């Protein structure tokens, strides 16, 4: 049975309200941790764990795993697009590895907790901000879908202000999230697969959170440029594909309406 599209009569408003609700829930989660003394360093697991379960149940019941991008990646005949997705992600990940001083010493239990944390974040954020939001926004056209989903993803990182992070650091994080959001949205629209994005997101966070130091500002700028250039290249491919598909549809319509011979 083919996956059904994700529909909503007010997709942009739904994306905005969902993002605001997520920010408020994270803020509430931080308050709960503070008041109850829960042994958590972040409200993310408290909020994202039930969201992950809900997404999994919804996708299973409605049979939407395929349309969410969790089907088998279609590589054959689409190798050029996959290269444009994987090479920038690999470049950014390698830059993180070589500029953060390596992994800090941690216990086995700490590593397991950290791996579970980044896997949870990668799954929830990519599924929500890419698969679900881009699906909701599809009727508005690819440009609107990419821009609105990217803005939602970037602004969601403003929640770090509630956790005490300083404004300059938060603004830098929002800017990088916007660049990655543009790239990830274009990558999903170009390939129809979310797997590479989930894996990269988790590995990127793992490298950052386990490292001795954070990436220098210069490297952040270099990675941002790489992602923006990749997004532009992928967007050009999306536009060419859509133009080609529109031309094919026009030819089919012309053939269907042409008078038949005697």
Higher per-residue pLDDT: 4 or 185: 185
Residue 122's nearest CA partner among 174, 44, 176 is 44
Q: Mind listing the pLDDT tens digit for each residue in 60-82?
A: 999 999 999 999 998 888 899 99
- Local confidence band at 244 (pLDDT 50, 70, 90 cut-offs): confident
What is the rounded CA–CA span in Å between residue 113 and residue 139? 39
Structure-block tokens of residue 193: 């697969």
103 phi and psi angles, rounded to 5 deg: -80, 140
Element (H, E) at 225: helix 217-257
Angle at 2 between CA 241 and CA 121, to 5 degrees: 75
When the pLDDT of each residue in the chain is averaged and rounded to a whole number, the result is 92
Report helix, strand or coil for 96: helix
pLDDT at 253: 55
pLDDT-derived band at 164 (thresholds 50, 70, 90) equals confident
pLDDT (tens digit, 9 = 90+) per residue, 138-159?
A: 999 999 999 999 999 999 999 8
Cβ atoms of 34 and 167 within 8 Å: the answer is no
Check residue 262 and give its pLDDT: 42
Cβ contact 89:200 at 8 Å: yes
* 201-240 per-position pLDDT tens digit: 999 999 999 999 989 999 999 999 999 999 999 999 999 9
- Predicted pLDDT at 4: 77
Instruction: Enter the tokens of residue 183.
Output: 């790239």
pLDDT, mean of residues 89-116: 94
- The pLDDT assigned to 163 comes to 75
Cβ atoms of residues 200 and 73 within 8 Å: no
């Amino acid at each position: 049975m083919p996956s059904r599209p994700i529909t909503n009569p007010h997709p942009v408003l739904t994306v905005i309200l969902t993002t605001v609700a997520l920010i408020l829930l994270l803020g509430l989660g931080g308050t709960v941790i503070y008041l109850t003394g829960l042994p958590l360093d972040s409200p993310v697991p408290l909020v994202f764990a039930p969201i992950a379960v809900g997404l999994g149940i919804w996708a299973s019941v409605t049979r939407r795993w395929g349309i969410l991008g969790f089907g088998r990646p279609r590589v054959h005949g689409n190798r050029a697009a996959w290269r444009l997705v994987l090479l920038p992600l690999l470049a950014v990940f390698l830059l993180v590895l070589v500029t953060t001083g390596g992994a800090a010493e941690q216990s086995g239990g700490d590593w397991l907790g950290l791996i579970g944390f980044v896997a949870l974040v990668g799954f929830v954020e990519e599924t929500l901000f890419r698969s679900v939001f881009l699906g909701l926004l599809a009727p508005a056209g690819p440009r609107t879908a990419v821009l609105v989903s990217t803005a939602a993803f970037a602004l969601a990182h403003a929640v770090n202000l509630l956790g005490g992070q300083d404004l300059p650091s938060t603004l830098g994080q929002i800017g990088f999230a916007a660049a990655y959001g543009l790239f990830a949205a274009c990558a999903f629209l170009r390939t129809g697969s979310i797997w590479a994005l989930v894996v990269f997101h988790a590995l990127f966070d793992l490298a950052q959170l386990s490292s001795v130091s954070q990436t220098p500002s210069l490297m952040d700028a270099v990675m941002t440029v790489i992602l923006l250039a990749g997004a532009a290249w992928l967007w050009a491919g999306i536009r060419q594909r859509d133009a080609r598909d529109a031309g094919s549809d026009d030819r089919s319509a012309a053939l269907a309406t042409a008078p038949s011979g005697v």
